[in-house]
Structures are given as structure tokens and as C-alpha cells.
Amino acid sequence: MKLSFKTKLILMISLIIIVIFGIMGIFMASSRLKELQTEIITSAEMFVRLSCDKIGEAFLRYYKNVFFKFRSIVISQKELNYDLKNIQIIALSGKILYDMELYEKGFFSSIDNRYTNDKFVLDNIKKLEINIHTDNEVCIVAPYIDEYGVHNYSIVYHFSLARLKRELSSVLVGSLLMAVSTIILAIMLSIIASNRITGHLKALSQSAGKIAQGDFNQFINIKTGDEFEELANTFNFMTEKIRDNIRKLNNLIEELKKRDVQKTQFLANISHELRTPLTASLGYVDYMEKEKMGPLNQDQKQGLKIIRRNLERLNKEIHSLLLVSKYTLDGIKLKPERFDICELIENVINNFTPEIKLKGLVIKKAFTTKDLFGDKENIRTVIENLISNSIKFATPETTITINTDVENRETQKYFRFKISNYGAIIPEEQTEEIFEPFYQVDATTSKKYGGIGLGLSIAKNIIEAHQGKIWVESKEGLTTFYFIIPQGGQNE
């Protein structure tokens, strides 16, 4: 059967409205049910933590000799939680010592020599932490440890999810009523809308949809001599302008990409060319320091030390330029391995001993974890840059603190490195920008402290290649750099 456009439009708009409201209803219903389940579980867990010791102590003291007092305590606790269904006290062997539900029903002797066959209870009854299982009901196993630190039995709580089922029924009824109302509303709105929409607007809508998907070669030919023709002409003018701007933007992007590659290649080439004479200069300095070109007096030796120090500083900056160029052009190729990060940090600190002594700094270390899985040489570069940065900007006669730790985020285990120093503050609005190449906090930084602003950029590239994150916090005279690297293990 062939349907008219108006009928199709009514059906389409009705379906869209129904689907939208349906999705909203499903989302709201599922959210409500999830919230209620979370509320029941959270309330149950809190109740267990508050009542476990009290029930366990009452069982220990009163169960055999003053049972009515133990029963009153259990009943009073049950009344505090609406969802509590049953309380069992089970020995570590699995023997049920007390079952509230059976006792309340009058089965006093049926519990003798009865053992639980609940796999979750048996798996967790000897553990010293609270464990929760959710299926048709919420089951929580909580260990009772007496005042002497002895764990002879655990308390098993069973919480009903009846509230969740009642809420589900209520939601289904509400959803059904909303569905009927939505259908009626959808039909009414679609009829009103279809009376005001023409085929010309459909053509405009189809063309606009293609533009939204990236097809800008759209042209609408409407010759009606009214507002629709004017709208079509405006639409065609707009698409022509979009096409023109896209062409210009693509050309500009390509030009910028070429220039960026050229800039990187230039840096790589000039850095490589600079290293050749620099290496020769360092060789001659070493040759002269060994007095192979004749004996030196004290002033000459001191002068050579200054020359060597500046040449090594220049060599370090050129190495940084080469690294940035290499990472930009070729990316970072990692060779991960497991190694002792603490040993690596100690070696790096030893390399900076002269600078540390010169500024009178104290290095305070706290290594909670030693193992790290990552690219050892690249991680060394990161550590060197961060420690060098802290020494450079630290106030003389202060303390630099270095920590390693393990951090758990959701189901992923991360290695975390932290280094803090007292000194110049990094403005909050610049804490992201300092990881960009050649960035300096202010114009006087490079003059006062030296450097060209590549160390943190290199560190960021390396950490992000490890799928990690690096950041800085700076306030009240204390600047702290962090980085984390995923270790690929699940939380245990």
C-alpha cells in the first residue's frame, strides 16, 4: 500500500518522539533501579559494619547461657534494617551455629549438625575482611574477631531485594502509562507538524543532513518565487561559502604541516651539525686536561674546567633538540622491561652530587615500590629531567623530596613518581603550558636559570608513550611534579 507523504511524516515524527521518550524512560528507570540497588547494598554494608561486633560479642557471651538476651539483641538489630532477611553465625568449618530465620520459625533442633553449602560463604568465611555477593539477594560475610584477636566464626547476613522488585513493578506500570501518553502526544504533534511542512523543506533537510556528514557539494534547485526559493538560494550561498572556506583551510593546514616538518628537520640537522665540532672540542679539552699538550698551571686547569662545563651544558641542550626532533619525526619506540627504579634514581642523584652540594640541598627519599615495567633508558631521561629541574629551581639550603609508590585506579595498577622542591611558583594557568617545547614561565627564566625549555616536553612525550600521565602542582612555595605509568596488572 502506497502511503502519502503526510502519512509517512506523521508516522516518522511519531516514531521519533516515541523512541526519544522510550529511551528517556528506560534510562530513568534503569538509573532509578541501579540507585535503589546501590542504596540497599550500601545500607546493608553499613549495617553489617555497625552490628557485626555487637552480634558476635552477644553470641559469645549469651548464646549458651542467656539465650533470650542474645535473641533480643539480634531482634533489635534486625529492626534497624528494613531489608534484613536472615542472620547466620557460622563456624570456620562451615557449621551453622545459629540461624535466625529457623529459630524465629520455631525449628530449634533442625539446625544441629547442619553445615552451609553456600559456595560464596564457604569461600569467604575464613577471610578477615567483609565480602559482599549480590544475586537474588545480598549476602555479606563479616568476620568476628574477639577481644583477644581470635577469629572462630563469621556472621553471614542475608538482605532481601524485595524493595527492588516492587520498585520494578512500579516502574513498569509508570512506563506503560508514559508510553500510552507518549504515543498520543506523538500523533498529535506529528499531525500539527506535517500540516506545516512541505516537500521543499524535506529537500532542504536531506541536503543539510548530507552536509552534516561531510558532503558539501549540495545544490538545491527550487523555483517557486516565494520564501522557499529565497531560503534555497540562501542555503546554496551558504554551502558555496563553506566549500570555499574548507578549501582555504585545507590548504593552510597542509602548508602548516609542511612548515612544521621542515622546522623539525631543520632542528635535527642543525643539532647534528653542532654536535660534530662540539664533540671535537670536548675531545681537545680532555686531551689538554690530561696535559698531553704540555703542563698546565692552576689557572689554566680552572679555565679548562669552565670550558668543559659549558661545552657539556651545550651538548645537553643539543641532545634535547635531537630528542624532540626524533620524537616528532619518528615517534618513540619503547623497549619495556622490568627494572629497579630505586637503583636508577640513586644513580641519577649521584650524577647531580656537585650541583646538590653547591646549593646546599638535602635529598629526602621514600621508595615504597622498587619495581617498574617500562623503557629503562627513556624513564632515566624523564627522571634526569625532573631531578635537574628541581635542583635548578630549588631555593638554596632547602629539601627536595622524592617518592615512589603504587596507585590503584579502578582496575588498573599504576607506578607513581613524585618529586617536590621549595622555590619559584608556577602560575596555575601555566601548569599545562610548561610541558610544551621551548616554553618558559616568564621571559627572565632562561636568563636566570639557563636552558631552552625542552626537558619537560621530552618527559611528557616519553610518559604519554607509556600510556601514562605527567602533571605539576605549585602553591605556597612548593612545586611538585608527578607522573604515573600503568603496570598492566589487575588489582588483587
Task: Give the three-class secondary structure for 365.
Answer: strand
pLDDT reported for residue 417: 95
> How confident is the model at residue 139, as a pLDDT?
93
Mean per-residue pLDDT, 160-179: 77
pTM for the model: 0.42
| CA 191/CA 185 separation, integer angstroms | 10
pLDDT tens readout for residues 318-369: 666 666 656 665 567 788 999 999 999 999 999 889 889 999 999 999 999 8
Determine the pLDDT at residue 71: 87
Q: Are 285 and 252 in contact (CB under 8 A)?
A: no
What percent of the residues of the chain are helix, what percent strand, and what percent coil, each to the nearest 5? 55, 20, 25
Cα–Cα nearest to 157, from 107, 101, 105: 101
Percent of the chain exceeding pLDDT 90 equals 25
pLDDT higher at 479 or 166 = 479
Span of 79-83, 278-282, 297-301, 392-396 with lowest mean pLDDT:
278-282
Neighbours of 115 (CB within 10 A): 12
Question: Which residue, 97, 70, 90, is CA-closest to 155?
Answer: 90
> Please, what sign has the CA dihedral across residues 269, 274, 279, 280?
positive
Residue 316 φ/ψ region, left for φ over 0, alpha for ψ in the -120 to 50 degree band, beta for the rest? alpha
pLDDT number for residue 226: 66
Adjacent-strand bridge partners of 157 = 87, 140
Give residue-wise pLDDT tens across range 13-49: 777 777 777 777 777 777 877 888 888 889 889 999 9
For 379, phi then psi, to 5°, come to -65, -35
CA 42 → CA 17, 86, 120, 127, 129, distances in Å?
37, 17, 19, 20, 16
